[in-house]
A and B are shown apart, each in its own frame.
Chain A
Amino acid sequence: MVHSRWSWLFAGLLVAVFIAAPAAVRAAGTNAGTSIQGTAQATYTFGGPTLTATSNTVTVIVAEILDVVVTVSGTTPVSAGETRRGLVFTITNTGNGTETFDLGAMSAGIVGDDFDPTLVDIYFDTDASNDLSPPDTLYVAGSNDPALAPDTAVRVLVINDIPANVANTARGRSQLTARARTGTGTPGSLFATQGDGGVDALVGTSGAQGIVFGEYVAARMQVAAVKTQTIVDPAGGSRPVAGARIDYQIVVSVNGSGTAPDAIFSDTIPAYTTYVPGTLALNSTVLSDIADGDVGEFVSAPDSQVRIHLGDLTQASGPQTIRFAVTIN
């Protein structure tokens, strides 16, 4: 509020104090370059009516803090020899200005792990799927470095290949580095006039960089289920038409060491199809549809479902082959 000599001369006896609505406080705080203005007022009497005086206005320009937080989401289970597996990192600009971050990744020689993953690339997790998928964009340093507004984040995938010879439960680390383009260093380091809109930029508590490692864990065991189908239509062909029968075969197998205790296989009968009674079988042994002494059953509610208790499964159990059939309504 700026009052000239003349405006207060004609103002009312008491000038209302202007109140700014409390702004929502965000993690990164007030944006760099914001001007904060302070003006005081006084009322007094001088033998007559109440008079008003207004002070000078002090303008304070908020400087820029360069800060970043990098986080990684958990550990990622992998198997030996897998290729192009991603670790999911989130880079959040916790500074109060828009900042571009230079990214880098490293997988070799990180202390504290059992094996070195082989670094492939960094991708932006464009579709937020937490895994490498076709819409994701390759990060190219110097070309598409992420520019983040205050309090915004970007998710990236650090992609590695897993060596073929890793042991079960072995851990391999890969780390991501995000560095503020304006500058990094000890907290408080000054980059004069290099902040948003030419304000001074100061390195925040993070040192304006984040270095975080993620971890792959070679899973003790992995359970795989592979489903195939065969269609026979009423005319003897293989078109999925009304009245056609679909024979499903699911092969469940365990790889690695360890046990999947009391494993239960269940599969929902697809919409617009009907289970063919008496077709449920495990390893060529036909199982009754009702819940009884054998390990299999067909359940009609709440969803139509076939279910088989496979018991404790290990790699030594070998592949378990399940079959059942439906007809298209």
Chain B
Amino acid sequence: MKSRATSDERRAVSQKGLMAAVTLGLCLSASARAQNCIELTTTAESEQQYVNEQGKKATRLVPLDKPVPGSEVVWTITAKNTCAKAVEHVVIANPVPEHMTYVASSAMGTGTDITYSVDGKEFKAAAALTSTHDGAVQPAKPDEYRAVRWSYAASFAPGSTAFVRYRARVD
């Protein structure tokens, strides 16, 4: 993970790299820009209990405010097809951030097949995922999940948007 200052530095470095690779860049840029079809947006929010207009208790998402150890953060990843053609085989992958623990059964995404990973490499359905402790292989516990992956069965029509969501707790 990089800080903002470092990303500025990287941008500067990237510009130099661009000069060096200018020929390649020119060859690829036209088609590559056209292929940049999925716009991904990550947001972090928190759940708030409130009383709605009907006087009933309800839950809503509000901007994250002062997270502390134990706070649950709702992560939402929105994917939008910005191209004029359908996009297929969309798979959204999200590592559970460092210093956070996945909240059991919190991953959701309409029309997706959700898989999990304890090492970020091998993804399986929750029931099939295992972890190894002292040489013993056992079913992985949700708090061991270090990454979540959502695979869409349907294609994304031009301009369409979909989101997936999960919760994680600050360690």
Chain A residues with CB under 8 A of B98:
20-21, 23, 36-37
Contact mask for chain A residues 43-66; partner B; CB cutoff 8 A; 1 contact, 0 none:
111111011011111111111110
A53 and B21 within 8 A (CB): no
Q: A7 near B: Cβ within 8 Å? A: yes
B40 and A41 within 8 A (CB): yes
Interface residues on A, range: 35 or more
The contact of A42 among B83, B91, B120, by CB within 8 Å, is B91
Which of A27-35, A84-92, A253-261, A268-276 lines the interface with chain B? A27-35
Q: B1 near A: Cβ within 8 Å? A: yes
Q: Which among A2, A20, A38 has the highest number of chain B CB atoms within 10 Å? A: A38
A55 and B10 within 8 A (CB): no
Interface hits, B69-102 → A, CB 8 Å: 69-70, 73, 75, 77, 79, 83, 85, 87-95, 97-101
CB distance from B165 to the nearest CB of A (A): 11
B99 and A17 within 8 A (CB): no
B68 and A63 within 8 A (CB): yes
The contact of A29 among B7, B94, B170, by CB within 8 Å, is B170
Interface hits, B1-35 → A, CB 8 Å: 1-4, 6-7, 10-11, 14, 17-18, 21, 24-25, 28-29, 32, 35
B146 and A19 within 8 A (CB): yes
A29 and B120 within 8 A (CB): no
Contact mask for chain A residues 176-211; partner B; CB cutoff 8 A; 1 contact, 0 none:
000000000000001000000000101010000000
Q: A242 near B: Cβ within 8 Å? A: no
Contact mask for chain A residues 1-29; partner B; CB cutoff 8 A; 1 contact, 0 none:
11010110110000011111111010011
- How far does the alpha carbon of A51 sit from the alpha carbon of B87 in the complex, in Å? 10
CB distance from A194 to the nearest CB of B (A): 12
A42 and B75 within 8 A (CB): no
Using a Cβ–Cβ cut-off of 8 Å, how many residues does chain B contribute to the interface with A? 63
CB distance from B120 to the nearest CB of A (A): 3
The contact of A202 among B6, B68, B156, by CB within 8 Å, is B68
Q: A39 near B: Cβ within 8 Å? A: yes
Given known contacts A17-B147, A23-B99, A44-B89, A29 and B40 CB-to-CB distance under 8 angstroms: no
Q: A291 near B: Cβ within 8 Å? A: no
A36 and B88 within 8 A (CB): no
B68 and A42 within 8 A (CB): no
Q: A40 near B: Cβ within 8 Å? A: yes
Chain B residues with CB under 8 A of A47:
85
Number of A-B residue pairs with CB-CB distance less than 8 Å in the complex they form: 174
Chain B residues with CB under 8 A of A200:
66
B170 and A62 within 8 A (CB): yes
Chain B residues with CB under 8 A of A64:
68
Chain B residues with CB under 8 A of A57:
1, 42
A60 and B67 within 8 A (CB): yes
Q: A96 near B: Cβ within 8 Å? A: yes
The contact of B79 among A1, A6, A42, by CB within 8 Å, is A42
B99 and A44 within 8 A (CB): no
- How far does the alpha carbon of A18 sit from the alpha carbon of B98 in the complex, in Å? 10
CB distance from B139 to the nearest CB of A (A): 17
Chain A residues with CB under 8 A of B97:
20, 36-38, 60
A30-B69, A38-B42 given. 15 additional CB < 8 A pairs? A1-B1, A17-B147, A19-B119, A19-B146, A29-B171, A30-B170, A40-B42, A42-B93, A45-B88, A46-B88, A53-B36, A56-B42, A57-B42, A58-B43, A60-B67
14 sampled A-B residue pairs with Cβ under 8 A: A16-B120, A19-B117, A34-B99, A38-B44, A38-B75, A39-B94, A41-B40, A44-B156, A45-B89, A53-B37, A57-B42, A60-B44, A62-B99, A62-B170
Q: Which residues of A contact B (CB under 8 A)?
A: 1-2, 4, 6-7, 9-10, 16-23, 25, 28-30, 34-48, 50-51, 53-65, 96, 190, 200, 202, 204
